[in-house]
A = this chain, B = another copy of it.
Amino acid sequence: MAHLREFSLAEAIAVLTRTPTTVNALLRGLPNAWVRTNEGKDTWSAFDIIGHLIVGERTDWMPRVRIILENGEARPFDPFDRFAQVKESQGKSLEQLLDDFTRLRMENLAALQALNLQQEDLTRRGKHPALGVVTLAQLVATWAVHDLTHVHQLSRVMAHRYRDAVGPWSAYLGVLQCGGHSAP
């Protein structure tokens, strides 16, 4: 399987471990103007993005790992609710969300490592409700790249706020040319 050439569980975990500290470093203590800004109607702020990462920890990644190991392709994954954070984050502070995300991620990585997965487990298959057959390796790789997608989105959402403030330099600043690929 070509995709296993680049993938290793230890290297994926190296990325997954660093995401809580990365988003804490980027966001904790920032003025609200940065945390609550978005890219316009029906787009996400940093606050919304951390809420979305929490929902993923609760309902997506490790639950799907377990479905693959316990049921294989026989039981499709539950669909993921991309808007659950709107309700779940209500009334919380960004700092609470960062704490929740950090705790849940650490618990999930401990659970993943406790499974003591072997190389042959990585080819075990599950069924995505829309994408069809996927492997355990693809699921864990996606977990890591999903983190990177939202770090990418966080930097873009924040930069958008200074789109006018940078004046003529906007032509040179790559993040301002990014149309956004993490909709909404």
Contact = CB atoms under 8 A, between A and B. Distances in A.
Given A21-B25, A169-B131, A181-B174, A152 B155 contact: yes
A120 interface: no
Most buried by B among A135, A137, A175, A177: A175
Copies in the complex: 2
Interface in A125-179: 128, 131-132, 134-135, 137-138, 141-142, 144-146, 148-149, 151-156, 158-159, 161-162, 164-169, 171-178
Given A3-B167, A167-B135, A174 B152 contact: yes
A63 interface: no
Interface stretch (A29-37, A51-59, A104-112): A29-37
Given A25-B25, A142-B169, A145-B173, 19 more contacts: A3-B166, A5-B164, A6-B161, A6-B165, A14-B29, A18-B30, A22-B25, A128-B169, A131-B168, A138-B165, A138-B168, A148-B159, A149-B174, A151-B154, A152-B155, A152-B156, A152-B174, A175-B182, A176-B181
A7 interface: yes
A18 to B, nearest CB: 6
